[in-house]
Structure 1
Amino acid sequence: MGQGGRPLTGPIRIVPPVDPTLLSLALPALSLSSLVAAGGLYALTRRYTARAWRELAQAEQDFALRLRAARIRPAQREESDPAVAWQGFRKFRVTRKVVEDQKRETASFYLTPLDGRRLPPYPPGAYLNLRVEIPEVGTETRSYSISGGFTPEYYRLSIKRVPGWTDSSGKEIPPGKVSNFVHDHVHEGSVVDVSAPNHCPHFVLDMESDAPVVLLGGGVGITPMICMWEEVVTRQPTRPVWLFYGVRGSAELMDAADEISALHSMLRQVGDDQRLWLCFSRVKPELDEAGKVIGLAGGESENDLHLCEQSRQQLVVGQQPRVVHHYGRVSIKDWIWDVLPPNFRDTAHFYTCGPGPFMKAIRVDCLAKGVPERRIHFEEFGADSHDALTDVVDTACEVVFSRGGRSKSAAWEGWRRDLQRLAKANEISIRGHCGVGACGECETPILSGRVQHTRDPLPYEPSPGCCLPCVAVPHPDCERLELQA
């Protein structure tokens, strides 16, 4: 029973002993919360400028990240050197910026810590949170996959510029704020804020295993695949790994910077047990009446056609080139399953990253071929990719957002996909930038009712009695849900 004899609501949770580290982190925030609750800051808040509110929000975010780092999963702690790991954000200088493709849409940023200390290692598939201050916008944070094997001197991020576009309903989607800012305004010598490496539990390459690995990257989804590839060929050179890199044409390949480009580095590393397939979706086969390939069409250059035809002829006569240029999309169902070595089908682990529909097709095709879920790993980046991998949850539920003695009620609408977007539609702000349950910034207390998360396992484990609204929906049995937001 609660105070006053009222029954407790929500799930019953066992509260673990309080970690002294967490307590030391929480005390400043508790003091501030007490003053606000007592009304001691009321007069001041009316005089706060927009900048002051942004600074307060940033302090809140820093505290959340320190709290998260303090209770990070044990497996993640073991992978970091306690002498050099850090909490919150750390200052890094961009020591090299490399434009990777002919279209100038993707750039790699080499980040070196200002304090000069060695960097902690990370598992292949890890990501960083990058924080920048954008004029007239404010502080923005985004998560980006680390795009290279580990080195203690620097981390590398490869970021694609996100243009504005119009969706199928005619809605104008604005350009990516952070991606365009770093392309246009972050250069060699610039200083940015970077979090310690983190990772999703199900999207980590097991470096203790010798099982074959199949990596499938679509567009900029190749970035975590480059990291996995480099780690395997460096630390496990005899481990079989096949990488399928899908782009529309060669102008999108990360090879425009010649010898220092990401792709050139990978090409130098291809060994007897590795295969690298470069797949051009705009190159199409021309068939005769009998269905035999008599030529190729499309592509972005004559070189695309020449390389694809050369590889095709090598495969026809039984050769096994280490680097293959292929026409067509990356597809398990249509052709990849047939070219994989037979032992891969029973033992290989499949890792995929790219647009949502791309990853969904890979997962569906793998399951159809009998690959168990435990050997299928995918990395979601952004709400769009998460939406493509999950179903709409329709249920009759009243959702109440409460804060500071005020509340706002909204009916759950399944097509909104998650509670964070429902809140936004009702002009309620919930922090968070990843949209896939990875950053933990949107963690919100559940005052009553139940939720279910649409991602399992969660990359970030919320505190007892809390949820991650960006990947949470009302539980089907819940008629009324109240969140502290």
Structure 2
Amino acid sequence: MLSPQSTEVIRATLPVVGAAIGDITTLFYRKMFDAHPELERDLFNRGNQKQGEQQKALAGAIAAFATLQLEPDSAKVDLILSRIAHKHASLGITPDQYAIVHEHLFAAIVEILGDAVTPDVAAAWDEVYWLMAETLTTMERGLYQLAGVDAGDVWRTVRISERVLQSADTVSLTLTSLDGSALPTFAPGQYLSVGVTLPDGARQIRQYSLCSIPSSADWRISVKRISGTPDGEVSNFLYNNVFEGQELSVTTPFGDLTMPDDNSPLLLASAGIGCTPMIGMLNHLVDTGAERSVSVIHADRSIADHAHRAELSTLVDKIPAATLHRWYEDLGTHVAFGSVHEGRADLQDIAVEPDTQAFLCGPMPFMLAMRASLLERDVPAQNIHYEVFGPDSWANT
């Protein structure tokens, strides 16, 4: 908790700092990467940096955390920082790296705000930063302990035992240990990081949901090649270059998109490759003989684009109280029938019980639309959970 003196300084300066936080975080990253080019090359997502998404997410997180120190809301703080802590753990972040961030973040604050950064202002924002950093390092320490690893020691080498085409643009990779022992179990919905060395020598890291049965000895992820600006450089590299028998550098699983272990009704809504954590959850429900009510919603561009299409249907059929609803923007020569619809996903005709626990994964516009619909159906906000692979702009809103 902030000291009373710092609280009043933050209250007075938050509008000014908040208005400039986007410029501050942009300059911060530039300063940090100038001093530590290895961080941009080997740790941070270069694509998100080019698009400015990481800068926006950091700015939002800092502003939101500072605001919550004025009117404390522990649940909101946990929501914002828990997701960051899991992401940091999946990257192997250690406490000493927070000092590097502090040095360049405060240099950026002073450069952008100039004379407005008096000693009292600097001290108050310094207190906010270290309070946020200490909260995160405590969370991350707990995650490392739960995973049974030392801080930052999350990487292991695995072998690809199987590669299966799930759609024209998506492959699933089954990962096994090098010595044949069982890989650690994970909670359905969690992800792991994959690190690859690209042709230019950079070691880039991305996260992929685990879509295998959590209790199995092996792990399975799915990778979709992405064309755009920028291209998905890690996913495209994996799709084009990684095959059976090769080794891959991955981390211990992390992630806070996990199902409650009760009989509450579930709604699993995904779009595109966002189906992967849902496949993992459904595999778990089938494996444990679950009889709870499950509504599965999936949206995709076309039937041909739908990765894990057959597996999704098979898993839903094995759960007694599960129903599947699919939407395709383009049905081609097929026609809409029953639970197969043309257009964008819509919850209007789907029964949603008030105590439903909803899990969402897909493009941000899809998830925000699903969230709005669920709120209109009286599903409590705390019952709506989501996963986003990239900077998180939801939790800060």
Contact kept in structure 1, 2:295 and 2:324, CA below 8 Å:
yes
Contact kept in structure 1, 2:90 and 2:251, CA below 8 Å:
no
Look at both structures and tell me which one has the larger radius of gyration over its CA atoms. Answer: 1
Q: In the aligned structure 1, how far is the partner of 2:40 from the partner of 2:361?
A: 35
The one-letter code sitting in structure 1 at the alignment partner of 2:328 is F
1:359 maps to 2:367: yes
User: TM-score, with normalisation over the residues of structure 2?
Assistant: 0.63
Q: In the aligned structure 1, how far is the partner of 2:198 from the partner of 2:346?
A: 39
1:374 maps to 2:389: no
Contact kept in structure 2, 1:270 and 1:276, CA below 8 Å:
no
3-state DSSP of counterpart to 1:346: coil
2:246 maps to 190
Q: In the aligned structure 2, how far is the partner of 1:56 from the partner of 1:355?
A: 25
3-state DSSP of counterpart to 2:292: coil
1:221 maps to 274
Tell me: CA distance 1:242–1:76, structure 2 relative to 1, closer, same or farther (3 Å). farther
**CA shift at 1:179, angstroms?**
0.8
Q: In the aligned structure 2, how far is the partner of 1:375 from the partner of 1:63?
A: 25
| 1:384-408 Cα distance to aligned partner (Å, 9 max, x none) | xx34x37xxxxxxxxxxxxxxxxxx
**CA shift at 1:253, angstroms?**
1.8
Contact kept in structure 2, 1:66 and 1:88, CA below 8 Å:
no
| 1:415-459 Cα distance to aligned partner (Å, 9 max, x none) | xxxxxxxxxxxxxxxxxxxxxxxxxxxxxxxxxxxxxxx37xxxx
Of residues 239, 258, 263 in structure 2, which corresponds to 1:204? 258
* Residue correspondence of structure 1 range 468-483 to structure 2 within 5 A: none
Q: In the aligned structure 1, how far is the partner of 2:277 from the partner of 2:90?
A: 28
3-state DSSP of counterpart to 1:248: strand
Identical columns (%): 27
1:112 maps to 176
3-state DSSP of counterpart to 1:223: helix
Q: In the aligned structure 1, how far is the partner of 2:186 from the partner of 2:367?
A: 24
Q: In the aligned structure 1, how far is the partner of 2:350 from the partner of 2:203?
A: 47
3-state DSSP of counterpart to 2:259: coil
Q: In the aligned structure 2, how far is the partner of 1:63 from the partner of 1:238?
A: 32
Q: In the aligned structure 2, how far is the partner of 1:249 from the partner of 1:62?
A: 36
1:431 maps to none
Q: In the aligned structure 2, how far is the partner of 1:362 from the partner of 1:83?
A: 37
**CA shift at 1:369, angstroms?**
2.1
Q: Which consecutive unaligned segments of at least 5 residues does structure 1 have?
A: 1-8, 12-49, 165-172, 283-298, 312-323, 391-453, 456-485
3-state DSSP of counterpart to 1:118: coil
Contact kept in structure 2, 1:250 and 1:280, CA below 8 Å:
yes
| 1:214-256 Cα distance to aligned partner (Å, 9 max, x none) | 1000111111111111111221421111111111211012258
Contact kept in structure 2, 1:84 and 1:120, CA below 8 Å:
no
1:127 maps to 2:191: yes
Q: CA RMSD in A?
A: 3.5
Tell me: CA distance 1:84–1:278, structure 2 relative to 1, closer, same or farther (3 Å). farther
1:97 maps to 163
**CA shift at 1:117, angstroms?**
2.5
The one-letter code sitting in structure 2 at the alignment partner of 1:87 is D
The one-letter code sitting in structure 1 at the alignment partner of 2:380 is P
3-state DSSP of counterpart to 2:353: helix
**CA shift at 1:368, angstroms?**
2.0
Tell me: CA distance 1:354–1:88, structure 2 relative to 1, closer, same or farther (3 Å). same
**CA shift at 1:59, angstroms?**
10
1:263 maps to 2:319: no
3-state DSSP of counterpart to 2:92: helix
The one-letter code sitting in structure 2 at the alignment partner of 1:239 is R
Of residues 205, 229, 237 in structure 1, which corresponds to 2:290? 237
| 1:59-112 Cα distance to aligned partner (Å, 9 max, x none) | 99999717479964647755x5x49999321001111111101xx111111111
* Residue correspondence of structure 1 range 435-450 to structure 2 within 5 A: none
The one-letter code sitting in structure 1 at the alignment partner of 2:236 is N
The one-letter code sitting in structure 2 at the alignment partner of 1:229 is L
Structure with bigger strand share is: 1
Q: In the aligned structure 2, how far is the partner of 1:64 from the partner of 1:156?
A: 19
Tell me: CA distance 1:339–1:188, structure 2 relative to 1, closer, same or farther (3 Å). same
User: TM-score, with normalisation over the residues of structure 1?
Assistant: 0.52
Contact kept in structure 2, 1:212 and 1:240, CA below 8 Å:
yes
Of residues 337, 340, 345 in structure 2, which corresponds to 1:325? 340
| 1:34-54 Cα distance to aligned partner (Å, 9 max, x none) | xxxxxxxxxxxxxxxx9xx75
Tell me: CA distance 1:377–1:249, structure 2 relative to 1, closer, same or farther (3 Å). same
